[in-house]
Structure 1
Amino acid sequence: MRYALSLSLLFCAPLFAAPLAPPESWSLAGEWRAHDANDPDFVGWRGSDRAWRSLRVPANWYSAGWDHQGALWYRTEFSLPQRRDAGRLATLEFDGVDYFADVWLNGQKLARHEGYFQRFAVDITSALTRYNRLAVRVDSPFEDPQKNWPLRKNLMKGILNQHDSRPGGAWSPQGQDANSGGIWSPVRLRLSRDVAIDNVILRPDWSQGLTQPRLRVEFVYRAPAAKAATLDLTARPDNFSGKNYRLSQAVTLQPTGGETQRIVVTLPMPNAQLWWPKGYGKPNLYQVQVRLRDDRGTLDQRSSRTGLRQVVEQPQNKGWLLNGQRLFIRGTNYIGSPWLSTMNKARYGRDFDLVEAMNANAIRVHGHVANRALYQAADERGLLIWQDVPLQWGYNDTPAFADNAVRQTQEMVEQFGNSPAVVVWGGQNEPPFNSPWMGKRFPDWNKDLNRNLMQRVADTLAKDTSRIVHPFSAVEEHYWAGWYFGTLANLLEPAKTATITEFGAQALPRLATLRTFIPQSELWPATTQPGDPKWTRWKYHNFQPIQTFQNAKISRGENINTFIANTQRYQARLVAIAAESYRRQRFQPVTALFQFMFVEIWPSVNWGVVDYLRHPKPGYTALKRAYQPLLPSIEPKSLDWKVGQPGQINLWAINDLPVAHPGSQLRWRIAQGDRVLAQGEQALDIAADSGKKVVELPVTPSRQGALRVSVTITKAQRVLARNQMEFDVAP
C-alpha cells in the first residue's frame, strides 16, 4: 500500500521547507502486503508484491487471520515531498515486533532487532527518498522439540512461547500452535533536526523525603554531530489540577556515531502530589516533556507519563510500604491474551473493572511483558502490578543467551519502568534449577540449569532501586495443594513463604461458553480415564483430566451440567479456603498473594475465575468475598466434618485498610438447614491495618448435609462486611 504523507494537514508547512519546522510524527498503520518468508531463497525487499496478500499492521499475524509459523515478509510504500532541510533526521520507530525483525528501506538493510516487546528505532535518514519502499522480514521461529523446546528454549517470549494456558498446553507437540509473531504494535515515522530522542526514563528520588520529591530524568538520544542546545524539562499534572514544574539548562550533545548517548538531569518537585493505589488516595500522574532546542527552534521532543510513589519492602515479612503506608497485597495472575495486538486500553479497562470488583488490588503480569495500554490503564486507576520478565521455565544455558536476556531485561526496565503501577520486578518463573520435577520429564535436566541466567537477570532488575525486586518465582511460592498435590486441608496449614504467587484450581466455564470450542459430539467423553482419546480436544484446550479426576477427585455427575457445576463448586471452595487462610497469616509470614489465574486467555478450560468471554464463574464470587478489604474470616479447624463429632470454627476480623472501625459488632450463625447449631454476637474495636481472632466456636453437626456458616460485621446497624462458607458433613 502506498502512503502519501501530507504534513500540511499537521503543520500547514511543507516538509523540509521551513527552518523552524517542529519535530513531526505519523503512523504507518494500515493494510500492508505480506508473503511467506520461510523459503530462504525468496528475497522480499525487491520485486513486485502483486501476488502478496494483504495483512493488517499492527496485528499478530494469527489474530489477523494467518495461522503461520516462522517468517513473513512485510512491505509497504510511502511518499514524501522532495525537498529536505540540512540536519533533518528520519527515524522509523517500531513499538513491538515478534520476534526477529530485519528492516530494509529502498533496498538497503538498515537494522536487525531481537525481542517481541521492545520499542526500537531505526535511523533511515541516509536511505530516505521521495518515494520509499519499506520491507521488514519478521521471524517468530518454531523451536525444535527434538533439540531445544521446551527445556532449552532460545526465544525470550515467556508464556507466548510455552505455557499451560496456550493453545495445545505446555507440554504437548501442539504447544507452539497459534504463533504470536508479527508487527503487532504501532509503527511510526519521526522527523527531527540534528538530534533524535529515543527514550525518556523517569525515576523518583526520595533522598529529600516524601514531601520534597525529585524526579530523575534520563533521556537517550542520537546525534550525528556535536551540538550545543538548551534542555527544557516540564512536568505537568495529567489527571488532576496542580502545579507545573520546570527546568531549563544548557547541554552539549555528543556525536553518537549511530549508537546512543544519555543525559541525566534532576527536576525538584517540592510538595508534588503522590501516586496512590486505589483505596489509599488518588493515582496522581504527571506528563513529563523533554525538549531540546536551539536559537532556530525545537530540535526534538519526547513526552512520557509517570507518578511519584515510594515503594519499600520491609525486612522480616513486615510488609510493603507505599508512600509510608503498609499494604497487604490481594492479587491475581493476569494474561489478557496470547495475541497482544487484540488488547487495547478499553479491553484492559474492562478486565480491570472486574479485577477491582473482585476486591483485588494487584495483578501479576504473568510471564510476559504486555501491550503498553495495560500499564497506562493500571496507572490511571491505581492498580498495582507485579511485572515478570518473559522467562518461563527452561532456556538455553549458554553465556550468550544470558547476555541476550540481560539486554532485553534492561530494555524492559527502561521502557516500562516509568509506570508507577509497577511496584515489583519479578524474575524467571520456575527456573529449572528450582524445579526438580523437571528431572522426571527431561533426561538432560540438572540441578544448576539456568542458575546463572536467573542471577544475571535478577542483578539487572536490581539496578532499578525504585521498586521491589523478586529474583525468581519459586516453586515453593506456588501453593497448589488441592490441585497438583495434597488436599484442600493442606491450604489451612501455616505458609512457609512471605509471597504466594500462585494458588488455584481449574473449573469449566458455563455451558454456552464451553459449546463455542467443544463440539456436541465430544461434550461427554465415555470415561474419566485421562487416556481416553475423546479427551484429546479438551486437553488441547488446557483441561487437565488427571488433576480433575485423580487429584481433586471431582465427580462428573450425571451429565455435562452437573460436571460444570461440580468443577465450579470445587474451584470456588478452594480459592475461598486458600485466600482466607493466607489472609489470616498476614505478615506472619504472608505479605502478598496472587491467585492463579484471573481470566481464560483463549477458548479454553483453565484456572481462570472468569471465562474467555468475560463471564465470571462462581470462583470469582468466592474470591470477591475472600478478598474484601474488611473481612469477617471463617476458619475451620478441620475440613473433616462428621455427624455427631465435635469440631471448631474460629472467626476473625481482618482489616487491610488504613481506617479503623471502633464500636463494631461481629454476628454469626451456624446452621444445618433450619436447625441452628450456634449463633451470637460480640462487640469489637477493629484497628486499621489489623487482623485478629475474635471468637472460637465449638460445633457438633447433628446430621448429614451442608454445614453453613454466616457472619457479618456491623456498625450502628449498618453492615460493613459479610461472609459465608459451607462444609460437607459425612456420616
Structure 2
Amino acid sequence: MIPKLILPLVVWLPLAQAAPVPVTWSLAGQWRVHDANDNTFNGASAPDSSWRTLRVPANWYSAGYDHQGALWYRHEFTLPERAPDTMATLVFDGVDYFADVTLNGKTLARHEGYFQRFPVDISDALRRHNRLAVRVESPFEDPKTTWPLHKTLVKGVLNQHDTRPGGAWSERGQDANSGGIWAPVKLHLSRGVTIDEVILRPDWREGLQNPILRAEIRYRALADGHATLRLSAAPDNFSGPDFQQDLPVTLNSTAGTLNVSLPMRSARLWWPVGVGKPNLYRVRASLRDDQGLMDTALTRTGLRKLEEQPDNKGWLINDRRLFIKGSNYIGSPWLGTMTRAKYRRDFELVEAMNANAIRVHGHVAGRALYDVADEMGLMIWQDVPLQWGYDDSVAFADNAVRQTRQMVEQFGNSPAIIVWGGHNEPPWNSPWMEKRFPDWNKSLNQSLTKRVGDTLAEDSSRIVHRFSAVEEHYWAGWYFGTIRDLLAPAKTGIITEFGAQALPRLSTLKTFIPESLMWPKSTAADDPGWTHWKYHNFQPFQTFKFANIPRGNTIQEMIANTQAYQAQLVATAAESYRRQRYQPVTALFHFMFVETWPSINWGVVDYLRKPKAGYYALKRAYQPILPSIEPVTDVWRQGREATVRLWAINDTWSACEECRLTWQVKQSGKRLAEGET
C-alpha cells in the first residue's frame, strides 16, 4: 500500500460520514500497551486495567519503555455505517519485528519484517465500534546459542553493530531494543478495489529523450469486473507538462496485477547534487468504473539511467560518468525518532562536506530518508539489512530473499537509490571470525549471500553489488597497519569503509560520560575505568595501542589528539583514492558520517550533530576541484633527496581553464622553493 491522502483520526470519525471514498485516516496517537511476554495473557480481549499508554508511531525504547520481547498494542475507533462495496484496509508502514493483527477478536494477519509497509484487509471484521489489537514481538536472541553469529532476525545493524548500545560483541549488544510500531498506521477506505502498491521503473530503450515509465500496479478487488485505469505523471518540484494515459482494464476478484507503460517524451531527468537538478514526478494511479472513482494511489519518482562500466571505468548516470564520494550513514538505532527535518539537517551537512552519496549502512531506513534524498539529489547505496552472521538454514535464506524482494519493490521508486548492496561482511568472507567463534566455518552463509545477491539483480535499473567484502573495507591505521598504508594502490574499484574513531567535543562527551568516569587510571584496554566508555562504543586498544594516539594530560588534550588522528587518516585515505580515480577507484564511502546515539565512534559528526575535525578534513579532501600532495617520501632527512607528487583533480564536468596549481616548500617558516603550473 502506498501513501494516500491522510486526514486526522480521533476515537470517533465525524468526518468519515461526509467524506467520500477513497479516504485515509491516520491512527497516530496514544495507544494502550501491555507486556506480552506472558503467552497466557490475551491482549485482544483483556480489560483495560494495568495497561499503560505509549505513543504511536514510535519505537518503544525511544518512547520511554525499555523492553525486550513482545508487547500488546491496543487502539479503539468508531466509524459510521459503510456501503456494502466498501473495502477497509489497515496499512502499517513499519512494525519491528513480528506483528499479529487482531480486530474485534478476529485474528487477521501475521507479518515478519521491520521495514516493510503491509496492508491488512479488515473489511469482514470491521464494525461501527472497533478494538484493534496488535501483538508486536522484537525478540532478544540468546547470546549463547544464536546471537551474534547465527541470528534469525533480518534487522541488520538494528540488533548488532559496532555503533549501537553495548557494541557489536558484548552480551549487552542487544540493549535498547528497537521494537515497536515505529512508522505510521492508517485506515484506508475504498470502493470495490484497493490499490496496494505501485512499482515504477524507467525504460530507456528509446533513448534519454524518450523515457518510458513502466508501472506494476497491485490491487485487490471484491469481484471480477471492468474499470478504467488512469496513470499520470506531473512535475513535483518544477514546472512542466503532465503525462497521462487512460486504459481499459479487467479486474479479477481477490488479488491481481496490472502492468502498464506511460511514454514520457522529453521528460526532465533526475540529476545528482553538484551536476544538475533532481527533477521529480508525482505519479498517480486511479481506477474508475461507471459509478466514479474506486481507488487512487500516489507515489513519486525521478527518471535517471544508470550503468556500471566494465573494468572499473566508472559509473554512468544519464550517460555521464560520475565519481562517487560518500560516507556510511545510520540516522538512529530507533528509526521512529528520525523525521524529514532531521534527515534534511543531516543531508545538508553531508552535501556541505562535498559528498554526493551516502551508504545506508546495513539497514533500511524510514521512508522520509528516501523522500529527502530524492529532493536533494543525494545518491544512495542501499544495503539489505544483513550484517555478519545468520542462521544457515534454507528457511532463513528463503525469508531473507522474500524481505530483500520487498525492499526492492517498495523502495525502488526512489531515484536516489543507485546501488542495491547485499550482505555486509558475510562470515564466509570474514576469516577473522575464526578466532572469535569456535563454530565459524568458511562456507557459513555463502548460499544466503548468493541468493540475496541474485534477488537484488532482478532489478536491472540499478547497479547491484552482491555483497560488501572485507577486502573493500580499508581499515589501515585502525585495525591493522598504519596511515601510510592508505597510500598504497587500491586493490578494489569500490571502497565501502575506511576511518578511525575520535572523541566528540567536551560538551557532548559530558552528556554521557559522568565526571567520575572521565579519566580512567590508565590506557590499558582492560582497565575497568573504560567499561562505561566501551558500552558507548569506544575502543581503547585500537586508540592507544594500535593507532598509538597519545592520551595527553587532560581530557581536552585527548579529544584534540583523537580528532587530529581521525582527520589525518580520513584525509589521507580520501585523497589517495581520489588520486586513483578510475585506476581503479570508482566509488568510496568513508565510515561513518554521524554517531547515532551518545557514543564515541567513527562518526565525523557527533550525535548532537556537532562536526569534529575529521568532518572538515573530509570536506577539503572531497572538494570538487582538489589540489593534492602525494607524499612519496615519508620522512625528509637533511642532505637527502625527497619526493612529492602534485596533483590537480577535477571531478566536475567542466574544464577549469583559469585554474593554476601553485606550490611552496617551507621549513621553519622559511620558503625553500616554489612554483606554478
- 2:223 is aligned, of 214, 225, 229, to 225
Q: Does 1:14 align with 2:14?
A: no
Q: CA deviation at 1:372?
A: 0.4
**CA deviation vs aligned residue, 1:400-423 (integer Å, no higher than 9, x gap):** 001000110011001100000000
Q: Does 1:450 align with 2:436?
A: no
- 1:552 is aligned, of 517, 528, 547, to 547
Compare 203-212 and 633-642 and name the one that shifted more. Answer: 633-642
3-state secondary structure, aligned to 1:664: coil
1 CA distance for matches of 2:639 and 2:24? 76
Q: CA deviation at 1:625?
A: 0.3
1 CA distance for matches of 2:637 and 2:551? 24
| Corresponding position of 2:250 | 252
CA contact (8 A) 2:629 2:646 kept: yes
| Corresponding position of 2:136 | 138
Q: Structure 2 counterpart of 1:570, which letter?
A: Y
| Corresponding position of 1:213 | 211
2 CA distance for matches of 1:640 and 1:522? 39
Q: Structure 1 counterpart of 2:256, which letter?
A: Q
2 CA distance for matches of 1:511 and 1:180? 28
| Corresponding position of 1:702 | none
**CA deviation vs aligned residue, 1:671-696 (integer Å, no higher than 9, x gap):** 233112322211xxxxxxxxxxxxxx
Q: CA deviation at 1:71?
A: 0.6
| Corresponding position of 2:3 | none
1 CA distance for matches of 2:171 and 2:148? 10
| Corresponding position of 2:6 | none
3-state secondary structure, aligned to 2:451: helix
Q: CA deviation at 1:224?
A: 2.7
| Corresponding position of 1:52 | 51
2 CA distance for matches of 1:224 and 1:295? 16
CA contact (8 A) 1:22 1:297 kept: no
Q: CA deviation at 1:46?
A: 0.4
3-state secondary structure, aligned to 1:4: coil
| Corresponding position of 2:421 | 426
CA contact (8 A) 2:10 2:27 kept: no
Higher strand share: 1
Q: Tell me the TM-score normalized by structure 2.
A: 0.98
| Corresponding position of 1:396 | 391
Q: CA deviation at 1:22?
A: 2.9
Q: CA deviation at 1:130?
A: 0.2
- 2:12 is aligned, of 4, 19, 35, to 4
2 CA distance for matches of 1:265 and 1:408? 25
| Corresponding position of 1:386 | 381
> Pairwise mapping of residues 303-318 of structure 1 onto structure 2 (< 5 A)?
303-318=298-313
Q: Structure 1 counterpart of 2:55, which letter?
A: R
2 CA distance for matches of 1:75 and 1:576? 52
Q: Structure 2 counterpart of 1:628, which letter?
A: Q
> Pairwise mapping of residues 243-392 of structure 1 onto structure 2 (< 5 A)?
243-256=241-254, 260-392=255-387
2 CA distance for matches of 1:31 and 1:102? 19
Rg comparison, structure with higher value: 1
2 CA distance for matches of 1:340 and 1:153? 21
Return 5+ residue gaps in structure 2 as ranges: 1-8
Q: CA deviation at 1:561?
A: 0.9
| Corresponding position of 1:521 | 516
**CA deviation vs aligned residue, 1:300-322 (integer Å, no higher than 9, x gap):** 11010000000000001110000
3-state secondary structure, aligned to 1:665: coil
CA contact (8 A) 1:283 1:380 kept: yes
**CA deviation vs aligned residue, 1:480-535 (integer Å, no higher than 9, x gap):** 00000000110000000000000000000001111110011111110111001000
**CA deviation vs aligned residue, 1:207-252 (integer Å, no higher than 9, x gap):** 1011000000111111132121000111000000001000001001
The count of residues paired between Structure 1 and Structure 2 equals 669
Q: Structure 2 counterpart of 1:373, which letter?
A: A
2 CA distance for matches of 1:152 and 1:536? 26
Q: Structure 2 counterpart of 1:159, which letter?
A: V
1 CA distance for matches of 2:10 and 2:508? 42
Q: CA deviation at 1:2?
A: 6.7
| Corresponding position of 1:490 | 485
Q: CA deviation at 1:664?
A: 2.5
Q: Structure 2 counterpart of 1:158, which letter?
A: G
3-state secondary structure, aligned to 2:253: coil
2 CA distance for matches of 1:625 and 1:482? 20
Q: Does 1:626 align with 2:624?
A: no
**CA deviation vs aligned residue, 1:319-376 (integer Å, no higher than 9, x gap):** 0000011000000000000000110110000000100010000000000000100000
1 CA distance for matches of 2:70 and 2:671? 68
CA contact (8 A) 1:461 1:469 kept: yes
Q: CA deviation at 1:642?
A: 4.2
CA distance 1:666–1:45, change in 2 (3 Å) = same
1 CA distance for matches of 2:505 and 2:674? 36
Q: Structure 1 counterpart of 2:552, which letter?
A: G
CA contact (8 A) 1:2 1:76 kept: no
CA distance 1:59–1:644, change in 2 (3 Å) = farther
3-state secondary structure, aligned to 2:491: coil
Q: CA deviation at 1:35?
A: 0.6
CA contact (8 A) 1:234 1:247 kept: yes
Q: CA deviation at 1:645?
A: 4.1
**CA deviation vs aligned residue, 1:82-105 (integer Å, no higher than 9, x gap):** x22121100000000000000000
- 1:192 is aligned, of 178, 182, 190, to 190
CA distance 1:641–1:3, change in 2 (3 Å) = farther
> Pairwise mapping of residues 121-160 of structure 1 onto structure 2 (< 5 A)?
121-160=119-158
- 2:566 is aligned, of 562, 571, 592, to 571
2 CA distance for matches of 1:161 and 1:227? 47
User: Relative contact order: is structure 1 or structure 2 higher (C-alpha 8 Å, sep ≥ 6)?
Assistant: 2
3-state secondary structure, aligned to 1:400: helix
| Corresponding position of 1:646 | 641
3-state secondary structure, aligned to 1:575: helix
Compare 379-388 and 47-56 and name the one that shifted more. Answer: 47-56
- 1:173 is aligned, of 157, 171, 174, to 171
Q: Structure 1 counterpart of 2:617, which letter?
A: A
| Corresponding position of 1:707 | none
CA contact (8 A) 1:77 1:134 kept: yes
Q: CA deviation at 1:639?
A: 2.9
3-state secondary structure, aligned to 2:398: helix
2 CA distance for matches of 1:279 and 1:268? 28
RMSD (Å), alpha carbons: 1.1
1 CA distance for matches of 2:338 and 2:45? 33
Q: CA deviation at 1:47?
A: 2.5
2 CA distance for matches of 1:656 and 1:663? 16
Q: Does 1:533 align with 2:528?
A: yes
1 CA distance for matches of 2:276 and 2:614? 29
Q: CA deviation at 1:147?
A: 1.1
Q: Structure 1 counterpart of 2:99, which letter?
A: A
Q: Does 1:673 align with 2:657?
A: no
Compare 521-530 and 665-674 and name the one that shifted more. Answer: 665-674
1 CA distance for matches of 2:10 and 2:623? 55
2 CA distance for matches of 1:31 and 1:23? 25
Q: Structure 2 counterpart of 1:4, which letter?
A: W
3-state secondary structure, aligned to 1:647: coil
3-state secondary structure, aligned to 2:661: strand
Q: CA deviation at 1:640?
A: 3.2
| Corresponding position of 2:656 | 661
| Corresponding position of 2:4 | none
Q: Tell me the TM-score normalized by structure 1.
A: 0.91
2 CA distance for matches of 1:109 and 1:331? 45
- Following superposition, which runs of at least 4 residues in structure 1 exceed 6 angstroms of deviation? none
CA contact (8 A) 1:489 1:638 kept: no
| Corresponding position of 1:115 | 113
CA contact (8 A) 1:320 1:327 kept: yes
1 CA distance for matches of 2:129 and 2:665? 79
Q: Structure 2 counterpart of 1:44, which letter?
A: G
